[in-house]
C-alpha cells in the first residue's frame, strides 16, 4: 500500500523512532551498523551518477537518524544509569512519587532524587525498599533523606524499570529522615480527585459495576478482582481494562456528538474536544497509551483547523515522537507500542477500505458491513501487535478476534452510561441501568475464560518462526505497492486464522502427553505433573512474590497456561504473595495444602483464604496420608515440618502402578527423620535431593546402599556423593545428575 507515499514527515519520524529504539541496545556491532546505515543515504545523495528523484530527503533522513543516535547516547549512556555515576555509599535527597506494596512485610517507594551527594545533574528516579511501618509515614510528596548504595536492576526486571524511567535501586538504606511532609503538587491533587470520582461512582452503582466503570473511565483497576482481570486476559481483551486510545476515542466521540446536537460548529467542537483531552490526560496520570491517543487527536485537530485535512498516520507518528521526546524511557514501554501499532493497523485498514466499499442499500447490508469491518479491524489491530504480545507474554487467546469486537461494543455502552451516571446519578438513580451491562460483560468473560484451550502458549519454535514471517509480510503490505490488494488481504487474514489455530492444536497435542518435569532455579524447587489431561504444579521450596515470577517463567517454558492443581508442601507467611502473582496470571482450579497443625498455620491459612476469595480457586486441605490425584499419578506428602517448629524441610512422593518418584529436602537425611527418609528412598525409582531448608548447613554424604534407584538428582550444595559411590550407581544403570541448570524430564 505504501502508506508513506506523499507522507515524507511520517517516513522521517518512523526512521527517527526506529533508530532511537535500536540504538538503545548496548550492542557495539548493532550500533556501528546503524551509524553506517544512517550515513549511507547522505553518501548516495552526493553521488551524481546515481539517479534520485529527490536528493534532499536522503540528507534529511541522515540528519534525523544521527540526531536520534546522539539523543539516545546522551540520555541512556551518559546520563540515565545512576549506579554508574555514583560508586559506594551516597547521601540522597529526594521526593516520594509512588508507593506500592512489595511483599507482605515491605513497601517499594519510587523516589525522584533532588540531588545525590550535592552533585550536578543528579535527578533520577530510583527504587527504595522500606518496611511497611516505615513507609506508612511517607506518602507521595514526602521529601526524604537517606544514605544508600545504588545498583543496577537484574536482567529480568531491567526492561520494565527502564520503561517507567527508574534507573537504579537503593541498597543498604540507612539514616532515613523525613525532611518535609507534603500533600503533593498538582499531580497528587488530580490523583486524589480521580480517587474521589471512583469512590463516588461506586456509591451510585453496585460494587462490581463501580469497579468496572472506574477501570473503563479512569484506568483505576485496583477495585477489580484479580479473577476478572485474569478472565479478560485469557479471552484476549485485557486492553479493555487498560486505559488506552480506545477509551479516549469513545469519550471524545461522545462529546463531539453531544455538542453537535446543540448545533455547535465543527471547529468549536474540535477545540472543546481538544481541551477535554488535555484535562483527561492529566486526570488519568498521563499514561503513555492515553498520551499517544491524546496527542494524536490534538495533532489531527490542528491539521483540520489550519489545513482542513486529516492525516491519521502523520498524527500517529508525530504523537509517538512527541511522547519519546518528552519521556525518552517511553521507547521501552510495551503499552505504548501495543497501543500505537494497534492504532496503525486500524488506520491502514481504513485506508484500504476507503472508496472500496459501496454504501449499503438496506439496513441488513449496513449491519453486515459494520460487522465485517469490526472483525477486520480486530484482525488488523491484533496482527499489528502479534509479535510483540506473543513474545512478551508467551501466549495468545484463540478468541481475541471475536471478543475484541463484542466486548468493545458492550464497554462503549457501559462507558456512556457511566458518564451519564456521574452527571445526574445523584438526582436520578440511573446507575441501575449500568448493572445489566456490567453483569453481561463479566459473565461472558467468566464463561469464555473457563476453557482450558482458550489462552494457549506460543512458546513453540515453529509457531514463533511463523509469527515472525507473518509480521514481516503484514508490515510489507503497509510499505510496498501491491497490485492485488484484495488477494493480499485475503492471504494475510487466512494466515492469521492459521496462526490462531496452531497454538490450539499444539496445546491439545501437548495436553495429552503424560510427563513429569523437575524444575529448579535458584530458590525454586518445583515439579510439574501432567497426566490424562490434568496439570499439577508442586512447589516444595520457598515462597515469595519474586519466586512466583520465576514459577511463571518455568510454566511458560513448559507451555502451561492452565493449572488443574497447585500443590503446596508447607506453610509460610509469604504464600499469599506467591498466590497473588500466580493466580493473576494463570487459571488455577484447586490449591492443595496440608491441614494446619498449629495456631500459626491456622492464621496463615486464614490469610490465604482471604487472598484467594476473589478467585474461583478452591482450597483443599490434606490430612495425614491423604493423596492428591493427577491423572494416573498420586501425590503423597511424606514429611513437613510445622511452621515455627524448625527449618521448613519437606518430602513427598509421586506414585503410579509402576514407579515411585521421591523428593527429599537434603537436611532430612540427618536427625529424627533420617531412618524414615532412607526407607522411603529405598522404595523409590527416582530420588531428588532438593536444596530447601537453607538454614541447614551441615554437609552430608550420600552412600551407595540404595540399589533400586534409576535416577538420582542432587540439587543441594550440602549433599555430596563420592566418586566411588557415583560410579556404583552408574554401574547399576542409574542416571546421576548433579546441580541441574534447567528443567529435567523425569517421565516423558
pLDDT in tens, 710-725: 888 888 777 777 777 7
d(CA 653, CA 649): 14
Among the residue ranges 306-320, 377-391, 482-496, 704-718, the one predicted with the least confidence is 704-718
- Of 438, 451, 99, the C-alpha closest to 241 is 438
List Cβ neighbours of 541 (8 Å cut-off, separation of 6 or more). 523, 524, 525, 526, 547, 690, 691, 692
Summarised one tens digit per residue, pLDDT across range 467-493 is 999 999 999 988 888 788 889 999 999
Instruction: Using the Cα atoms of residue 51, residue 57, residue 60 and residue 64 in order, give the sign of their dihedral.
Output: negative
Residue 222 dihedral angles phi and psi, to the nearest 5°: -65, -25
pLDDT confidence bin for 258, thresholds 50/70/90? confident
Residue 628: the pLDDT is 92
Residue 617: the pLDDT is 93
pLDDT confidence bin for 70, thresholds 50/70/90? very high
List Cβ neighbours of 310 (8 Å cut-off, separation of 6 or more). 300, 303, 304
Summarised one tens digit per residue, pLDDT across range 210-234 is 889 988 888 888 888 889 999 999 9
Greater pLDDT, 186 or 371:
371
pLDDT confidence bin for 447, thresholds 50/70/90? very high
d(CA 302, CA 300): 5
Summarised one tens digit per residue, pLDDT across range 421-432 is 888 888 888 888
pLDDT confidence bin for 594, thresholds 50/70/90? very high
d(CA 475, CA 384): 8
- The mean pLDDT of 357-385, rounded to a whole number, is 83
- The mean pLDDT of 407-420, rounded to a whole number, is 90
For residue 325, the surrounding DSSP H or E stretch is helix 312-326
- The mean pLDDT of 627-632, rounded to a whole number, is 92
- Of 503, 130, 72, the C-alpha closest to 324 is 72
Cα distances (angstroms) measured from residue 518 to each of 59, 80, 654, 661: 57, 40, 12, 11
- The mean pLDDT of 632-648, rounded to a whole number, is 86
pLDDT confidence bin for 695, thresholds 50/70/90? low
| The pLDDT of residue 76 is above 60 | yes
**DSSP E strands: which ranges in 446-571?**
455-457, 515-521, 524-531, 534-539, 562-568
Summarised one tens digit per residue, pLDDT across range 262-295 is 888 888 888 888 888 888 888 887 777 788 888 8
d(CA 259, CA 276): 13
List Cβ neighbours of 154 (8 Å cut-off, separation of 6 or more). none
Among the residue ranges 226-235, 413-422, 738-747, the one predicted with the least confidence is 738-747
d(CA 463, CA 391): 11
pLDDT confidence bin for 577, thresholds 50/70/90? confident
Residue 529: the pLDDT is 92
Mean pLDDT of the chain: 85
Burial pattern 268-280, b for ≥16 Cβ within 10 A else e, equals: ebbeebbebbeeb
| The pLDDT of residue 361 is above 80 | no
Residue 130 dihedral angles phi and psi, to the nearest 5°: -130, 165
- Of 393, 387, 347, the C-alpha closest to 238 is 393
Residue 355: the pLDDT is 66
| The pLDDT of residue 706 is above 70 | no
| The pLDDT of residue 373 is above 60 | yes
The per-residue DSSP string of 695-711 comes to T----EEE-S--TT-SE
Residues 287, 279 contacting (CB under 8 angstroms): no
Environment class of 698 (CB within 10 Å of its CB; exposed 0-12, middle 13-18, buried 19+): exposed
Coil/strand/helix, residue 745: strand
Residue 519: the pLDDT is 82
Residue 565: the pLDDT is 95
Residue 557: the pLDDT is 83
pLDDT confidence bin for 94, thresholds 50/70/90? very high
Amino acid at each position: 500500500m505504501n502508506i508513506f507515499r506523499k507522507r515524507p514527515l511520517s517516513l522521517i519520524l518512523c526512521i527517527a523512532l526506529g533508530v532511537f529504539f535500536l540504538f538503545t541496545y548496548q550492542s557495539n556491532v548493532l550500533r556501528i551498523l546503524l551509524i553506517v546505515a544512517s550515513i549511507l543515504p547522505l553518501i548516495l545523495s552526493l553521488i551524481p551518477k546515481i539517479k534520485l528523484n529527490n536528493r534532499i530527503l536522503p540528507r534529511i533522513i541522515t540528519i534525523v537518524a544521527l540526531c536520534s543516535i546522539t539523543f539516545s547516547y546522551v540520555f541512556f549512556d551518559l546520563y540515565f544509569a545512576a549506579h554508574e555515576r555514583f560508586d559506594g555509599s551516597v547521601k540522597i535527597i529526594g521526593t516520594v512519587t509512588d508507593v506500592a506494596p512489595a511483599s507482605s512485610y515491605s513497601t517499594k517507594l519510587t523516589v525522584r532524587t533532588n540531588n545525590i551527594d550535592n552533585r550536578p545533574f543528579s535527578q533520577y528516579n530510583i527504587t527504595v525498599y522500606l518496611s511497611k511501618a516505615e513507609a506508612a509515614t511517607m506518602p507521595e510528596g514526602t521529601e526524604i533523606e537517606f544514605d544508600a548504595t545504588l545498583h543496577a536492576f537484574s536482567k529480568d526486571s531491567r526492561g520494565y524499570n527502564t520503561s517507567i524511567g527508574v534507573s537504579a535501586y537503593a541498597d543498604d538504606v540507612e539514616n532515613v529522615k523525613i525532611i518535609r511532609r507534603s500533600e503533593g503538587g498538582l499531580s497528587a491533587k488530580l490523583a486524589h480527585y480521580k480517587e474521589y470520582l471512583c469512590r463516588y461512582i461506586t456509591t451510585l452503582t453496585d460494587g462490581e459495576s463501580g469497579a468496572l466503570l472506574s477501570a473503563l473511565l479512569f484506568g483505576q483497576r485496583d477495585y477489580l478482582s484479580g479473577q476478572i482481570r485474569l478472565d479478560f486476559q485469557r479471552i484476549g481483551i485485557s486492553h479493555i481494562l487498560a486505559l488506552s486510545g480506545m477509551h479516549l476515542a469513545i469519550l471524545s466521540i461522545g462529546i463531539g456528538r453531544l455538542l453537535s446536537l446543540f448545533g455547535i460548529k465543527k471547529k468549536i467542537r474540535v477545540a472543546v474536544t481538544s481541551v477535554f483531552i488535555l484535562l483527561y490526560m492529566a486526570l488519568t496520570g498521563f499514561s503513555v497509551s492515553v498520551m499517544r491517543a491524546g496527542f494524536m487527536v490534538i495533532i489531527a485537530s490542528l491539521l483540520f483547523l489550519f489545513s482542513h485535512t486529516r492525516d491519521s498516520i502523520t498524527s500517529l507518528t508525530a504523537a509517538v515522537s512527541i511522547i519519546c521526546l518528552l519521556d525518552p524511557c517511553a521507547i521501552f514501554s510495551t503499552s505504548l507500542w501495543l497501543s500505537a501499532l494497534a492504532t496503525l493497523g486500524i488506520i491502514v485498514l481504513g485506508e484500504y477500505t476507503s472508496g472500496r466499499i459501496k454504501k449499503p442499500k438496506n439496513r441488513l447490508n449496513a449491519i453486515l458491513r459494520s460487522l465485517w469491518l469490526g472483525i477486520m479491524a480486530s484482525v488488523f489491530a491484533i496482527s499489528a501487535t502479534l509479535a510483540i504480545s506473543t513474545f512478551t507474554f508467551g501466549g495468545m487467546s484463540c478468541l481475541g478476534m471475536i471478543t475484541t469486537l463484542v466486548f468493545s461494543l458492550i464497554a462503549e455502552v457501559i462507558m456512556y452510561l457511566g458518564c451519564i451516571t456521574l452527571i445526574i446519578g445523584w438526582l436520578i438513580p440511573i446507575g441501575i441501568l449500568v448493572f445489566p451491562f456490567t453483569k453481561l460483560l463479566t459473565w461472558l468473560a467468566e464463561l469464555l475464560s473457563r476453557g482450558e484451550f482458550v489462552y494457549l502458549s506460543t512458546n513453540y519454535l515453529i509457531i514463533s518462526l511463523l509469527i515472525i514471517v507473518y509480521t514481516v509480510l503484514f508490515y510489507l503490505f503497509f510499505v510496498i505497492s501491491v497490485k492485488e490488494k484484495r488477494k493480499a488481504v485475503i492471504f494475510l487474514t487466512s494466515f492469521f486464522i492459521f496462526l490462531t489455530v496452531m497454538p490450539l492444536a499444539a496445546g491439545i497435542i501437548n495436553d495429552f502427553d503424560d510427563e513429569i518435569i523437575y524444575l529448579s532455579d535458584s530458590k525454586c524447587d518445583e515439579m510439574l505433573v501432567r497426566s490424562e489431561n490434568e496439570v499439577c504444579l508442586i512447589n516444595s521450596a520457598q515462597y515469595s512474590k519474586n519466586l512466583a515470577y520465576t514459577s511463571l517463567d518455568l510454566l511458560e517454558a513448559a507451555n502451561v497456561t492452565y493449572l488443574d492443581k497447585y500443590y503446596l508442601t508447607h506453610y509460610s507467611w509469604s504464600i499469599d504473595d506467591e498466590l497473588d502473582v500466580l493466580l493473576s496470571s494463570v487459571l488455577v482450579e484447586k490449591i492443595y495444602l496440608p491441614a494446619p497443625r498449629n495456631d500459626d498455620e491456622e492464621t496463615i491459612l486464614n490469610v490465604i483464604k482471604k487472598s484467594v476469595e476473589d478467585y474461583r480457586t478452591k482450597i483443599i486441605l490434606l490430612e495425614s496420608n491423604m493423596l492428591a490425584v493427577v491423572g494416573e499419578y498420586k501425590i503423597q506428602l511424606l514429611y513437613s515440618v510445622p511452621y515455627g517448629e524448625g527449618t521448613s524441610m519437606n518430602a513427598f512422593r509421586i506414585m503410579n502402578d509402576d514407579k515411585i518418584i521421591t523428593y527429599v529436602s537434603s537436611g532430612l537425611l540427618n536427625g529424627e527423620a533420617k531412618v524414615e527418609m532412607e526407607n522411603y528412598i529405598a522404595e523409590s525409582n527416582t530420588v531428588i535431593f532438593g536444596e530447601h531448608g537453607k538454614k541447614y548447613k551441615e554437609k552430608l554424604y550420600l552412600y551407595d546402599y540404595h540399589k533400586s534407584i534409576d535416577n538420582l538428582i542432587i540439587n543441594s550444595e550440602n549433599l555430596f556423593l563420592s566418586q566411588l559411590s557415583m560410579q556404583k550407581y552408574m554401574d547399576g544403570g542409574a542416571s546421576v545428575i548433579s546441580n541441574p541448570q534447567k528443567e529435567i524430564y523425569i517421565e516423558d
